[in-house]
Amino acid sequence: MSPRHYRQTAAAAASPLGQTREQLFQALNTGEHGLSQTDIPARQRQYGLNQISFHRAHSPWRMLLQEFIALFPLLLLGAAGLSLLADHLSPGEGYNLIGSALLGVVVLNAAVSFLQNYKVEKLMLSFLDYIPKEVALLRDGKQHLADAKEVVPGDILSLQEGDKIPVDGVLLQANQLLVDESILSGESEPLNKTALEQGSAEAVHLVSSGATVLKGSARVLTTQTGRATKIGSISELSRGVSQDLTPMQRELRYFVRRITWLALGIGLLFFIIGFVIGNPFWTNLIFAIGIIVANVPEGLLPTVTLALTQSSVRMSRRNALVKHILSVETLGSTTVICTDKTGTLTRNKLHVERLYLDFSEIDLHDPTALNSLPAARPASEIMALCNDVIATDGTTQGGNGFHGDPTEVALADFVEAHGGYAAIRDRFEQLHSRPFDADLKYMSATYRSPAGTLYLTVKGAPDVVIERCSRVHGEASVRALQRDGRERIEQQANHYASQGLRVLALACSEVEMPEAEPQDLVFIGLVAMVDPPRPEVPAAVAACHSAGIRIVVMSGDKAETVAYVARKLDIVQHPRVIEGEQVAAMSRAELAEVLEDDQVVFARIAPEQKLTIVECFKEQGEVVAVTGDGVNDAPALKRADIGIAMGQRGTDVAKEASDIILLDDNFATIVKAVEEGRGVYDNIKKFITYILTSNIPEILPFIAYVLLPIPLPITVVQILAIDLITDILPAIGLGNEPPESDIMRRPPRQRDERLVSYHTFIRSYGLVGPVEALLSFLVFFWVLDAGGWQWAQPLAGNTLLYGQATGAFLTTIIFCQIGNVMACRSNRQSAIAYLLRFNPWIWSGLVVEVLFILMILYVPLFHGFFSTAALPPWIWGGILLAPWIIFAIEELRKWLVRRGVSWLAA
């Protein structure tokens, strides 16, 4: 057959709706006996394999390269290049050490980030097991097993209970077929499907790839495979969705640009000043490079990476897998969570919610209320006997031992919890069963009772069953069903249905023949079921409200069910339900107006409509998190600022599109993750403030050295010691501070709030940094004066006095930073309470700092390398006072901020 014929075939079969059985066979060039094996190779060349690539494997080398080309690593690499240039121009001044150290920092940071991302990459690849391995095919009139990847349009497949459907197709045969399509549509209730025998194909005759057969068996004519299926098209839609930079990426980019221009500006300024005072060109250039490099916070990149990585590890212990470490902070800045309902807010398992017996609703939380009613016994019998579930060995373990139609599983679970499913069925002998019929809307089963009578049990749609009832079990007796009683029952059934509950009527009768038609029945009661909220969700919803985070439900389920769940969970008080068709008809301006209503929820929503809602929220300046587990959630998951997929029930498409995967499918885990994200943002802000502060006492000595006739107070090697040894551990400690107690009672931070603002620079460069520099200069000149140095007197770098003076300058900076790190443990509140609060990273850092400075001061082996010498004991009084001065200045600043002096806020 020609390729042209296959293209025509594909177009004809692309939409089987409206086509007859014969037209489909003709369009696909197949028949009742299936394809011929000789046709398969040509069709596979035309249509490709029946597989969908949900996750494109990333090359490890490419992943590693990406760690080096982000803006911050490029800044450090640029600074390393300048340092190596300065060393070439003026060897022996330590610039080669700065260049090597900066390169080492970039490599170390890349390694840490790469290992975290590679670990997640391997885990993502392990998820990919979506299309079933083998299927039963009919070819040349014979059935045989084949790899599901080999299925092509025109193939006829056999499906059994429990199978995952690997193709889109039309049902040629169906025996009591019940299909779960919730991962595609978001609708929690399973769908009854029937075969296309007469007339044209309708939705009830179609099945989709990714759906699961809950009950029954079928034969399917394949119309679409691979990417051409419904699940494949949604996967492709999500691939085409662009992702914005995360808030943390935007902030780090802003900070790197700011610090780069600041460093270049100061370097250029003093390059010009050098010319004004008469220094030669190369001296000025080397000096300018020193100024620029000193402005670069070498330790900031690894500290940020480590803080985010450690936060990711903590979240993984709480069952939240972070695919991209920057996503940790994004969740903390979330203002809106758009959540799916089925499987996310709810258990994706039906449960008996209401029971109406004896013309009254039963309190199911009170076991005595049910047992006291005479109608409770026949109600339990009907739920157990008029039921086709399969009971397994786990029946006694909390109702997890039933398999079959979710509605019938819910009834069996209820009976098991209130008397025992097996105990009831063991007393009766089944004689006849009439399976549920989608046209008749009821199911019946006849049993021989222990007394020897024939006992007919019926369950089904309330209007159908009530119509067949002439009597009612009420007030401890069976009596005629009067008109007012019938109206009361119908009114109650309608009330349950309006709340989104799935309602069944229960009835029974003694009959003469096992095959008797259900007539003249005794009405027993109504049972209303719902996919119940997960037990941990209400507290999580309350926590989101306290944190100022809005929750918006976007579900493919029907309006009544969405409204019921949203109200039950207290997400909204008075739900305003907007359906997908309404969203599709709205302009962006109209949708934006709808989203202003905090009571709005969405039902019957399609993937492209979810995407539109997310984009509209983002246009309004919201930071949007989207949760979901189905294929229909994938495009919105990818477009959101942060996508959160369910790990257990979630599809591979959803997991690929997401940034975070909840391994326990627990909505409450999101709240813990939000708290972690807010905490890590606060902590990153704290240690950036801490690290930037030491830049001033590192830069000013170079400026003073050029402008004034004094020895250089600090060497390049000493600067490296501060940035990469003594500041790192305390900074990591700040990154691991526990969240402040009120962190989930604050509103989300504003989208335009800067991680590093002008206030941060004022605090670090205009207040604390200059004080640290002043204290260090005072100690430096104190040592020089005590050693007999005179103003403008040359002082060789290898003398004892110079080693003592530079050692004192370095030690004072380090001890000032001790006071600074303790002050940075709180943003606005007094940090006095934190002085004795144990943080192992901070206290370990302080111990390392003290041991390090004592070692380089008092161990002669290190004197030459670090340009230090042993300090006289009397100088320690001034040095030990320095951290308390810094801490006191910070306490005064915070006190003024709390009283309204906003320009001093960090």
Q: Are 300 and 712 in contact (CB under 8 A)?
A: no
pLDDT band at 58 (very low <50, low <70, confident <90, very high): low
Q: How many CA atoms lie within 13 A of 719 on its CB side?
A: 32
In the block, tokens 């059985």 appear at: 21
Report which residue type is found at 776: S
Output the pLDDT for position 284.
Answer: 75
How remote is the C-alpha of 122 from its chain's centroid? 18
In a 13 Å sphere around the CA of 866, the CA atoms on its Cβ side amount to 29
pLDDT at 57: 60
Q: Quickly state the pLDDT bin for 11 (edges 50, 70, 90).
A: very low
**Could you give the percent of the chain with pLDDT greater than 70?**
91
Q: Which two tokens stand for residue 717?
A: 């090697």
Report d(CA 515, CA 528) in Å as an integer.
28
Largest CA distance in the chain: 123
Cα 619 to chain centroid, rounded: 21
Banded pLDDT at 8 (limits 50, 70, 90): very low
Cβ neighbors of 866 (< 8 A, separation 6 or more) are 715, 717, 718, 721, 807, 810, 856
Cβ within 8 Å of residue 685, ≥6 positions away: 755, 756, 760, 827, 906
How many whole angstroms separate alpha carbon 817 and alpha carbon 383? 72
Task: Say yes or no to pLDDT of 535 above 70.
Answer: yes
Q: Which band of pLDDT confidence, cut at 50, 70 and 90, is reported for residue 781?
A: very high
Q: Is the pLDDT of residue 789 over 90?
A: yes
CB 155 within 8 A of CB 43: no
Segment 430-453 shows an average pLDDT of: 90
CA 783, CA 694: separation in Å to the nearest integer?
Answer: 21
Per-residue pLDDT of 403-429, as tens digits, reads 878 889 999 999 998 878 989 999 999
User: What is the distance between the alpha carbons of residues 120 and 60, in angstroms, rounded to a whole number?
Assistant: 12
Q: Is the dihedral of CA 899, 677, 247, 344 positive or negative?
A: negative
- On whether the CB atoms of residues 346 and 565 are closer than 8 A, the answer is yes
Q: Tell me phi and psi for residue 591, to 5 degrees.
A: -65, -40
133 versus 196: the higher-pLDDT residue is 196
Q: Please count the CA atoms within 13 angstroms of the CA of 183 that sit on its side-chain side.
A: 29
**Which two three-digit tokens encode residue 92?**
């022996």
In Å, what is the CA distance from 285 to each residue of 254, 715, 797?
27, 17, 22
CA distance 778 to 782: 6
Burial bucket for residue 738 (CB in 10 Å: 0-12, 13-18, 19+): exposed
Q: What's this model's pTM, rounded to 2 decimal places?
A: 0.72
Is 133 in contact with 148 (CB distance < 8 Å)?
A: yes
Q: Residue 3 pLDDT > 50, yes or no?
A: no
Which residues are CB-neighbours of 421 under 8 A, at least 6 positions away? 384, 391, 395, 402, 412, 415
- At residue 886, does pLDDT exceed 50? yes
Looking at residue 614, its pLDDT comes to 92
CA dist 236 and 806 (Å) reads: 63
* pLDDT single digits (tens) 146-165: 888 889 999 999 988 778 88
- For 657-694, what is each residue's pLDDT tens digit? 788 888 888 788 888 888 888 888 888 888 888 988 99
Contact partners, residue 130, CB within 8 Å, separation at least 6: 52, 54, 210, 651, 652
Q: Report the percentage of the chain scoring pLDDT > 90.
A: 32
DSSP state of 164: B
What confidence category does residue 271 fall into, taking pLDDT thresholds of 50, 70 and 90? confident
Per-residue pLDDT, 12: 39
Type and span of the H or E element at 134? strand 134-139
Give the per-residue pLDDT at 125: 54
Identify the pLDDT of residue 135: 85
Please give the Cα distance from 845 to 727 (Å, whole number).
Answer: 8
CA 482 to chain centre: 55
Calculate the alpha carbon distances from 99 to 77, 102, 726 in Å: 8, 5, 19
Using CA atoms, how far apart are residues 607 and 653, in angstroms rounded to an integer?
A: 13
More confident call, 727 vs 259: 727
Mean per-residue pLDDT, 197-226: 86
Exposure on the CB side of residue 413, measured as CA atoms within 13 A: 20
13 pLDDT more than 60: no
> Could you write out the DSSP letters of every residue in 357-376?
ETTEE--TT-HHHHHT-TTH
Beta bridge partners of 124: none
The CA distance from 884 to 892, in Å, is 12
Rounded Cα gap, residues 463 and 491, in angstroms: 11
Q: What is the DSSP string of 750-770?
A: PTT--SS-HHHHIIIIIIIHH
Helix (H) or strand (E) holding 74: helix 71-89
Task: Give the SS3 label for residue 570.
Answer: coil
pLDDT at 799: 93
Chain centre distance of CA 595: 22
Task: Specify the pLDDT at position 2.
Answer: 42
Q: Is 340 a catalytic residue?
A: yes
Strand 642-646 relative to strand 624-628, pairing: parallel
Report whether pLDDT(240) > 70: no
Are 369 and 209 in contact by the 8 Å Cβ rule? The answer is no
Of these residues, 155, 340, 652, 723, which one is catalytic? Answer: 340
In 3D, which of 469, 464, 459, 493 has the Cα closest to residue 388? 459
390 beta partners: 403
- 475 falls in which pLDDT band (50, 70, 90)? confident
Average pLDDT over residues 487-496: 94
Strand 600-603 versus strand 576-579 pairing type:
parallel
Confidence of residue 191 (pLDDT cuts 50, 70, 90): confident
CA distance 736 to 730: 10
Q: How far apart are CA 560 and CA 566, in angstroms?
A: 10
Over range 443-466, report the average pLDDT: 94
First-to-final CA distance of the chain: 74
Nearest partner of 187 among 162, 155, 217, 211, judged by Cα: 211
Span 703-744, pLDDT tens digits: 888 888 999 999 878 887 888 788 888 988 888 888 877 788
Q: CA angle, corner 237, sides to 592 and 135, nearest 5?
A: 135
**Quick check: 541 and 170 in contact, CB under 8 A?**
no
Residues 786 and 784: their CA atoms lie apart, in Å, by: 5
d(CA 155, CA 814): 75
Outline where 722-768 has alpha helix (H): 728-735, 758-761
Judged against a pLDDT cut of 80, whether residue 524 lies above it is answered with yes
Nearest to 855 by CA among 728, 847, 822: 847
- Grouping H, G, I as helix, E, B as strand and the rest as coil, residue 639 is helix
Highest mean predicted confidence (pLDDT) among 36-40, 289-293, 631-635, 753-757 = 36-40
Q: Tell which wins on pLDDT, 67 or 153.
A: 153
If you average pLDDT over every residue of the chain, what do you get?
84
Could you tell me if 154 and 29 are in contact, meaning their C-beta atoms sit under 8 angstroms apart? Answer: yes
Please tell me the least confidently modeled range out of 31-40, 593-602, 767-776.
31-40
Kindly list the strands in the beta sheet with 320-322, ordered across the sheet, starting from the edge strand earlier in the chain.
Answer: 320-322, 660-662, 642-646, 624-628, 336-339, 550-553
Residue 159 has φ and ψ, to the nearest 5°, of: -120, 145
Which is nearest to 121 in space by CA: 388, 324, 287, 269? 324
Residue 196 pLDDT > 60: yes
Of residues 707 and 582, which shows the higher confidence score? Answer: 582
